[in-house]
Amino acid sequence: MCGIFGSVAPYLIDAKKSISLLNHRGPDHLNYLDTQSLGHFISLAHARLSIIDLSDVANQPLRREDLGLVIVFNGEIYNYATLREELLSQGCTFKTQSDTEVILVGYAHEGSSFLNKMRGMFAFAIYDQRRGNIFLARDRVGKKPLYFYRKDGVLLFSSEIKSLLTCEGVGRSLNLMALEEYLSLGYIPAPKTIYQEIQVLNPGHYLLHHIGGGTEIFRYWRVHYESAQKSLNHVEAITSLIDDSVKIRMLASDVPVGAFLSGGIDSSAVVAFASKYVEKLKTFSIKFQENSFDESRYAELVAKKFRTDHHQFTLDSDLVHLLPKIVWHFDQPFADSSSLPTFYLSQKTSEHVKVVLSGDGGDESFVGYERYLAHLIGEKFENLPGVARKILRLIANSITTTEPKHFLFKLRRMIHFLLEDGCYQRYLGTIQIFSPREILELTGRNIAAGTMKEILDRFSSVLANKSINKVIGFDFENYLPDDLLVKVDRASMAHSLEVRSPFLDHKLIEYMSALPMHIKLKHFHLKHLLKNKVLRGVLPDEVLFRKKMGFGVPIHQWFKKDIIALTEERLFDSSLGVIPLNQNYMEKILQEHKEEKQNHAYKLWSLLMLRMWEDQWGRK
Quote the distance between the C-alpha of residue 62 and its chain's center: 28
Q: How far apart are CA 279 and CA 277, in angstroms?
A: 7
- For residue 365, give the amino acid letter: S
Report phi then psi at 494, rounded to 5: -60, -25
pLDDT at 56: 75
pLDDT at 6: 97
Quick check: 367 pLDDT over 70? yes
Report phi then psi at 283, rounded to 5: -125, 155
Q: How many CB atoms lie within 10 A of CB 239?
A: 16
Segments of the chain assigned to CATH 3.60.20.10: 2-219
Any bridge partners for residue 37, and if so which?
40
Quick check: 620 pLDDT over 60? no
The gap between the terminal CA atoms of the chain, to the nearest Å, is: 30
**Listed ranges 219-233, 307-321, 498-512; the one with the highest mean pLDDT:** 498-512
Q: How confident is the model at residue 391 (pLDDT cuts 50, 70, 90)?
A: confident
Q: How far apart are CA 524 and CA 532, in angstroms?
A: 13
119, 248 contact by CB (below 8 A): yes
Segments of the chain assigned to CATH 3.40.50.620: 234-367+471-544
Q: How far apart are CA 140 and CA 599, in angstroms?
A: 38
**Listed ranges 401-410, 511-520, 547-556; the one with the highest mean pLDDT:** 511-520
| Structural element, H or E, at residue 149 | strand 147-151
Report phi then psi at 175, rounded to 5: -90, 100
Give the β-pairing of 355-357 and 257-260. Answer: parallel
245, 120 contact by CB (below 8 A): no
pLDDT at 550: 61
51-72 average pLDDT score: 88
| Global pTM value | 0.93
Quick check: 448 pLDDT over 60? no
| Structural element, H or E, at residue 605 | helix 601-613
Quick check: 521 pLDDT over 70? yes
Lowest model confidence (mean pLDDT) among 48-62, 140-154, 188-202, 244-258: 48-62
Any bridge partners for residue 70, and if so which?
63, 127
**Alpha-carbon distances of 98 from 15, 74, 85, 258, 604, rounded to whole Å:** 24, 12, 13, 21, 46
Q: How far apart are CA 415 and CA 411, in angstroms?
A: 6
274, 227 contact by CB (below 8 A): no
Report phi then psi at 608, rounded to 5: -60, -45
Of 256, 322, 268, 310, which Cα lies nearest the Cα of 498?
A: 256
Burial zone of 91 (CB within 10 Å; 0-12 exposed, 13-18 middle, 19+ buried): exposed
| CA-based torsion, 85, 89, 90, 95: positive or negative | positive
CA torsion, ordered 196, 198, 204, 208, to nearest 10 deg? 120
92 tagged catalytic? no
Of 221, 5, 12, which Cα lies nearest the Cα of 127?
A: 5
Helices (H), 398-540: 407-418, 423-431, 436-443, 451-461, 467-474, 485-493, 506-513, 517-520, 528
Say how many CA atoms lie within 13 Å of 159 toward its Cβ. 33
Topology (CATH level 3) of domain 234-367+471-544: Rossmann fold (3.40.50)
Of 501, 474, 469, 473, which Cα lies nearest the Cα of 487?
A: 501
Average pLDDT, the chain: 90
34, 187 contact by CB (below 8 A): no
| Structural element, H or E, at residue 243 | helix 234-251
Q: Identify the active-site residue in 2, 92, 167, 423.
A: 2
| CA-based torsion, 425, 428, 429, 430: positive or negative | positive
Quick check: 292 pLDDT over 90? no
* Superfamily name and number for 2-219: Aminohydrolase, N-terminal nucleophile (Ntn) domain (3.60.20.10)
Quick check: 282 pLDDT over 90? yes
Q: Who's near 459: CB < 8 A, 6+ residues apart?
A: 424, 427, 470, 474
pLDDT at 441: 92
**Listed ranges 412-426, 473-487, 575-589; the one with the highest mean pLDDT:** 473-487
